[in-house]
């Protein structure tokens, strides 16, 4: 629960509060010798550092996480982790390596029938293919990702899929379709923002925590 509170802070970009919560969860897991809890905390820390573009910091945790996931046959965890590896490779400019990781994530997610991870992996593959000018393959993967995300109501992924489709159509000269998907992206982005704004109780709690932190 404390780790997931950290995840909420991360999504709202209160990174210091996120790390404080996650490290508290890590200390509790270590005190109980609870391996699954420890690895989940490390996974959350790695994701937090990726969000802050601290890729070398994130990479420090991966050997332990992969070893634990393989030992416990955590296929879902590995599928998610390969997406992380792909994002790090992409940010470092190694698009070929990124593609390999995203393909592994897609394949593993299909094995366990996890449509959320699969749609995210397909989004990432489609983006890599757009960047490498493989427009036909990119469109195919983005459309597959769109179908899965719309069916599963994966709003945050769908928002990014719409943006990638808009970019791809624009780059291939299909201005009308580019505009359609840019409009879909903006509408969904505004909708998600409104949902965040409506959670005023959570926002007040965060403000209280920040003010308390500043008083120390």
Q: What is the pLDDT of residues 129-185, one digit of tens each?
A: 999 999 999 999 999 999 999 999 999 899 999 999 999 999 999 999 999 999 999
> Taken in order 45, 50, 56, 62, is the CA torsion positive or negative?
positive
Measure the CA angle with vertex 166, ends 135 and 100; round to 5°: 45
What integer pLDDT is reported at residue 212 of this predicted model? 55
What integer pLDDT is reported at residue 201 of this predicted model? 46
The three-class DSSP label of residue 133 is coil
Class of residue 75 by CB neighbours under 10 A (exposed 0-12, middle 13-18, buried 19+) = middle
Neighbours of 39 (CB within 10 A): 23
What is the value of pTM for the model shown? 0.79
pLDDT at 196 over 60: no
8 A C-beta contact, residue 9 and residue 47: no
Question: pLDDT tens across 88-126, in order?
Answer: 899 889 999 999 999 999 999 999 999 999 999 999 999
8 A C-beta contact, residue 21 and residue 9: yes
Tokens representing residue 106 in the block: 């897609």
The stretch 66-92 carries a mean pLDDT of 90
Tokens representing residue 142 in the block: 């983005």
């Amino acid at each position: 629960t404390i780790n997931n509170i950290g995840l909420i802070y991360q999504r709202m970009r209160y990174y210091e509060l996120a790390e404080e919560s996650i490290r508290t969860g890590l200390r509790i897991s270590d005190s109980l010798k609870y391996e699954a809890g420890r690895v989940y905390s490390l996974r959350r820390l790695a994701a937090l550092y990726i969000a802050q573009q601290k890729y070398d910091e994130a990479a420090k945790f991966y050997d332990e996480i992969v070893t634990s996931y393989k030992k416990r046959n955590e296929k879902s965890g590995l599928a998610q982790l390969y997406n992380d590896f792909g994002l790090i490779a992409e940010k470092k400019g190694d698009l070929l390596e990124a593609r390999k990781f995203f393909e592994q994530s897609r394949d593993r997610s299909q094995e366990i029938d996890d449509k959320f991870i699969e749609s995210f992996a397909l989004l990432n593959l489609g983006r890599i293919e757009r960047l490498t000018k493989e427009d036909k393959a990119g469109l195919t993967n983005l459309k597959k990702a769109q179908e899965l995300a719309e069916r599963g109501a994966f709003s945050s992924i769908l928002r990014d899929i719409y943006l990638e489709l808009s970019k791809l159509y624009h780059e291939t000269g299909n201005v009308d379709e580019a505009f359609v998907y840019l409009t879909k992206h903006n509408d969904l982005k505004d909708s998600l923002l409104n949902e965040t704004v409506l959670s005023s109780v959570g926002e007040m709690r965060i403000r209280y925590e920040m003010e308390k932190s500043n008083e120390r």
